Structure 1
Amino acid sequence: MGVGIEVLIVDWPRVEATKPSAREELLIDAAFGEVYSDDLFEHGWSWPTRPGEDWYARYAFRDTIGSYKPHFWAGHRWEHLRDVVEPQAREALDRFSDALFWHGMADTPGAGSPLPERPCTWDADVLLWCPPDQVPLIAGWWRRARPRLEELREPFDRHAAEPHGWINTFDEFARLLIDWGEVVDTAERRGWGIVGLRC
């Protein structure tokens, strides 16, 4: 299946209170322990129920079966779409997505996230490491982009829809973005960060 991603929102101080050499194991246990499911059609939040384990939650994206490929393909579709999107919607979606999962938009003039480059300081294999102080800014971009998603339907159908790969339709594209919006909104409400473990 290639590269997979398990997305968690976490109480940052709780993870950083763990000794550095144990953080990766802590996160892996969180992702693949009590809240994990091998249901290929799983969607949404899984929250731990054991006492003292209320410092994280796991999110399962619709129709991805845990693979990173849909996220990659959504970025590929966006590359074919963004030049014909109204500038305000384009800017908000560029920033929201680049900060989370379409990294590399900064190489495109006028695109990319202005967030500072902050490499993961934890000894963990991650595809995404988003400290809680960055989450409100990303959530703000999502609040700007979300009401304008439907504007992308016609240009997506004209410029980005393809019969191969993942994210072949506008509805699949929008669902993935809405799922990421749910992750960011929930993390912001709790004051938590976001981690995407490579698996």
Structure 2
Amino acid sequence: MGMDITVLVVDWAHLMEIAPDDRLEVLQESAYADDESDEADAGWVWPAEADRAWLGRYEFGGTLGSYKPHFWLVQAWEDVRGAAGTTLRTALDDFLTALLWSGPEVESDAEHVDSGVFPSEDGLWRPGPLIARGPRTVAGLHRCWQKAAPALPQLREPYAHHAACPGRWIADFEEFTELLSGWAEVVGEAQQRRWGLVGLPL
């Protein structure tokens, strides 16, 4: 899985004002600037340019922009989900399924893109993950996280038995919760602003 992902929160009203055929290209061009102020190891990057104030980029710590840790996050959840209570299992299933991409297929891409964002599903295939979730979907994801977060500590012991894998991208429970919490940070920021979120294969 030699691919990358760039995750943005996006002013959805601004995005919808862009011609549908141009949205993906504008997002890709706007995700990064050429100046050094746009560099970050982890956390939020808010562009200084006024014409890019409609988005913010989130850097997941320790991932170097690679999609591999996110793939292993899903794998770790599959390994431990049987030990989760019903509320946690349902909430994290819904949260992760809506966000994380499993392979380069049109059907897989379409499952992670809300309708109406791009002109048709025919042009969605990308050589990597494509995510586009509007404010309404983000609000639902935020509710999922609010249900899941208080119950996460119950997974610490079963994680050690069923999912810990030293040497893997997500080696232990701490790395699992750290990356998962990064996605929660993105969803929470988008929810607070009433924006959407986008993941690009950049």
Task: Give unpaired runs (5+ residues) of structure 2.
Answer: 104-110
AA in 2 matched with 1:93: L
Counterpart position of 1:23: 23
The residue type equivalent to 2:99 in the other structure is L
Residue pair 1:73, 1:166 contacting (<8 A) in 2 also? yes
1:49 paired to 2:54: no
SS at match of 1:134: helix
| Counterpart selection for 1:172 from 168, 171, 175 | 175
Distance 1:26 1:117 in 2: 16
Q: Which runs of 5+ in 1 are unaligned?
A: 105-114
Q: Percent identity?
A: 40
- 1:158 to 1:168, Cα distance in 2 relative to 1, 3 A: same
Per-residue displacement from partner, 1:46-93 (whole Å, max 9, x unpaired)? 111222432100000111110110010011111110011111111111
- TM-score normalised by structure 1 residue count: 0.84
How far apart are residue 4 of structure 1 and its match? 0.3
Q: How does 1:1-199 map to 2 (within 5 A)?
A: 2-33=2-33, 36-37=38-39, 42-101=41-100, 118=114, 121=118, 125=126, 127-199=130-202
Q: Are the counterparts in 2 of residues 75 and 102 from structure 1 also a CA contact under 8 Å?
A: no
What is the number of residues matched between the two proteins?
A: 186
CA deviations on 1:86-125 (whole Å, 9 max, x unpaired) are 1111111111111111669xxxxxxxxxx99745525664
Following TM superposition, the consecutive aligned residue runs of length 4 or more in structure 1 with deviations greater than 6 angstroms are none
Contact 2:164 2:173 in 1 (8 A): yes
Structure with a larger share of its residues in helix: 2
Residues 165 and 49 of structure 1: CA distance in aligned 2, closer, same or farther (over 3 Å):
same
Alpha-carbon deviation of 1:179? 0.6
Query: Over aligned residue pairs, what C-alpha RMSD do you find?
Result: 2.3
